Chains A and B, each alone.
Chain A
Amino acid sequence: MASILVYAELSEGKVVSTTLELMTKARELGDVYAVALGSGAKAAAATLGKHGAKVVHVNEDAAFDDYIAEPATDALAALHEQQKPDLILFGFTPDSREVAGRLAARLGTGLISNAGDVSASGGGFVAKVPYFGGAKIASMKANGKPAIILVRPKSFEASESGGAADVKQLDVKVAPESKRAHVTERVVEASEKVKLEDARVVISGGRGMGGPQNFPLLDDLASALGGAVGASRAVVDAGWVPYSMQVGQTGKSVRPGVYIAVGISGAMQHTVGMKTSKIIIAINKDAEAPIMKMADLGVVGDALKIVPALTAAVKAKKNG
């Protein structure tokens, strides 16, 4: 059996959902073990066990929480040396990709990022990766030993397999020279009302919204529908809304019941993060925009008129 190591990403001491999706997939590929680092790692091991990890290597050194990427890279390199896994899986998330990049450079293996699926093939692993702007999907055989593959969030449904992991203390001492990029303060600016990733309705705005002053129109519709507001990379880059609202390849991946794209043309960068939504509604001035070719309902018109009218209609229907 191939041995698969999953890098468990923890957020405030809890395993993030992307890790559990990876665990679920990894069970199909071979013997799964996981590594969890930083505060909460031991408690996380129970969750990882329920999702199929036979062994979870843990280390709760505070350095993993307080220093960016390097301590985790040291720990993974040490674990690789001991265990020689065939495949190391990471989520394609901002925090995990920083560790994966350093590790792949240190081991000299390279990596495959942005995978939407992974399968075992001929003793190795094949990842499916968007190609040519997403018009094509390439099957890429991983050449690295170990293979390192980063998988986009929401590529798989997480499910429990039962069971409990054998929890092992990972014996690694974080070297002083790896304690460099020091997180000295954490500042919370805004609390999300409904989490974008978990919302059953997502309303995202793009350049067609005309400016940040019009985003409250989307907030109103979102609160009427109990949904969350997202955005395209173009408007995040323009500084209209914060990065935390970005839906797309390097933003968040969402899979809501209904996705409403308002004034978004539908570049691959964006659609890769939302195209598995159950229903897609697009509102756009341009009938030829790529988003219209993937929407279940495309409305060609002025978003600034349609959105408030829609909010009013939703409220009327709820109250009636």
Chain B
Amino acid sequence: MKIVVTVKQVPDPNSNFALESDNTISREKEAVLDPGDECGVEEGLQLKESLGGEVILVSMGPERAKDAIRKGLSMGADRGVLISDAALAGADALLTAKALAAAIKQEQPDLVICATESYDGSTGMVPPMLAELLGMPQLTFAKKVEVDGSSVKVHRQTADGYQVVEAATPALITVTAAIAEPRYASLKGIMAARSKEIKQVSLTDLGVEKSEPAETIEAVADAEVRKAGEVIEDDGTAVEKIVKVLAAAKVL
């Protein structure tokens, strides 16, 4: 089974968010493989281990995004593809999906695995676009995946339980973090990853034309901030204070 996992390099969610004085996101922050994608890589590796085949990581980003791909390779993925192009800076979801679709088509995978949403953007719009552009069905919010021959079955997380969703491959699935606990890369894995191939391609290589972005930013304003209220150290009277607030809000 040929499996493509999409991966993204994101600012480390465990470090504190910082803005530069011009309101751009601080680039000082360490960049990591998106934790959601780590779960996708893990699921891809587990499927490969039981079914055989190949796991290919496809990413889009600047040159340094190779570090995120390398992380997945050190976990055990076979090779990587990085789409890198200055024209992609600030790409919207559709252009991102177009670039990824073009690179993934060349691989002709049986299964494409994406995280449900990225850690930085958190909008989850790329996977359904990608499924459409690849002409694949989408099996989403998977907390469990089973592959049997040419069919794939997932447990799709819902508000009060789950749905069983089935489709024939090739198919795109999006996985939640509940799917699999990502493995730590072994020293052997880290050494092996150094010699694994990461192919770098541009939009021209992929034959993708830059499309008009879905939006134009007209203005940027400060978000409305709630005024900070009172902050108290709990010296034993905090509970009493909270009860007063609850009573004043008429919920008690």
Chain A contacts to B: CB under 8 angstroms: 68-70, 73, 92, 94, 97-102, 104-106, 108-114, 126-127, 130-144, 148, 180-192, 200-201, 225-227, 236-239, 242-244, 248-250, 257-258, 267-269, 275, 278-281, 287, 292-302, 305-306, 309-310, 313-314, 317-318
Contact = CB atoms under 8 A, between A and B. Distances in A.
Contacts of B128: 69, 97-102, 105
Contacts of A143: 212-216
B19 interface: yes
B251 A258 contact: yes
A250 B94 contact: no
Contacts of A69: 128, 131, 138, 140
A60 B140 CA distance: 23
Nearest to B222: A136
28 contacts: A98-B140, A101-B128, A102-B129, A104-B93, A105-B94, A105-B97, A110-B95, A110-B213, A112-B215, A114-B123, A131-B217, A137-B222, A141-B216, A148-B214, A181-B167, A181-B171, A187-B162, A201-B251, A237-B35, A243-B157, A244-B160, A258-B246, A258-B249, A268-B17, A279-B249, A298-B231, A300-B234, A314-B246
Give the 7 A-B residue pairs with the shortest CB-CB distance, closest first.
Answer: A110-B214, A301-B234, A101-B128, A180-B137, A296-B229, A298-B231, A189-B161
A232 B244 CA distance: 26
A41 B239 CA distance: 49
Contact of A102 (B131, B157, B165, B232): B131
Q: Name the interface size band of chain B.
A: 35 or more
Given A102-B138, A135-B222, A243-B157, 20 more contacts: A92-B123, A98-B128, A113-B123, A114-B123, A131-B220, A135-B23, A136-B23, A136-B221, A140-B216, A143-B213, A148-B214, A180-B137, A183-B165, A185-B163, A192-B160, A239-B177, A250-B123, A278-B249, A299-B231, A313-B243
A63 B200 CA distance: 41
Nearest to A70: B137
Task: Name which of B130, B220, B224 has the most chain A CB atoms within 10 A of its CB.
Answer: B220
Interface of B: 13, 17, 19, 23-25, 35-36, 92-95, 97, 116-117, 122-133, 137-141, 155-168, 171, 176-178, 211-226, 228-234, 238-243, 245-247, 249-252
Given A94-B141, A98-B128, A187-B161, A112 B214 contact: yes
Nearest to A239: B178
Contacts of A200: 251
A120 to B, nearest CB: 13
Nearest to B174: A98
Task: Name which of A92, A101, A134, A287 has the most chain B CB atoms within 10 A of its CB.
Answer: A101
Contact of A293 (B124, B131, B171, B228): B228
Contacts of A248: 122
A112 B19 CA distance: 23
A237 B220 CA distance: 31
Contact of A292 (B133, B140, B215, B228): B228
Given A269-B122, A279-B249, A295 B228 contact: yes
A110 B92 CA distance: 8
A215 B177 CA distance: 19
Contacts of B246: 201, 225, 258, 314
Nearest to B215: A140
Given A183-B163, A310-B243, A101 B127 contact: yes
B93 to A, nearest CB: 7
B94 to A, nearest CB: 4
A314 to B, nearest CB: 6
Contact of A310 (B19, B132, B242): B242
Nearest to B160: A188
A182 B214 contact: no
A114 B220 CA distance: 16
B19 A132 contact: yes
Nearest to B173: A181
A132 B95 CA distance: 20
